[in-house]
Chain A
């Protein structure tokens, strides 16, 4: 299995089929005398932006933590929660309530619901 081709930037889907995000980052754990191990995957705009520019990522993270739901929306999922790797990456989680959904939920409650016709 290849990390870039099969894991990084793949769609992550939760147990109920909800989209959580893309695999924005992969955490490797270095161990003395043993090959590095895939420890976790990470989802979130800050992780994504860090790949372009670390400074920009810092600034974005600060902004996100000061506004709206006051979280930068980073979600780290331990590798042990990954169930299947195919077209999408299935994880044994429920998206609702995770940081990856914080902005979606906040925008729904504070913006979308206030626009007429969003519930019907």
Chain B
């Protein structure tokens, strides 16, 4: 399903590799993204506690948070690896 997205990402990644961003910069980027997803989760919980969100929407955002966190963690690991 995500084959084309992957293809885009792959082409992007190959080109990106040519531009060589430092591992530190990439790790910093991944850390910011991780924090961003955690903050999204907190905001979601606040609004949910107020009863502002329908459950099916909460599930959508939760899934996005999980996928985003996993991606950020993977990036972080890739950046820290030698």
The answer to whether A and B touch in the complex, with CB atoms under 8 Å apart, is: no
Task: Write the residues of chain A forming the contact surface with B, with a CB cutoff of 8 angstroms.
Answer: none
Task: Write the residues of chain B forming the contact surface with A, with a CB cutoff of 8 angstroms.
Answer: none
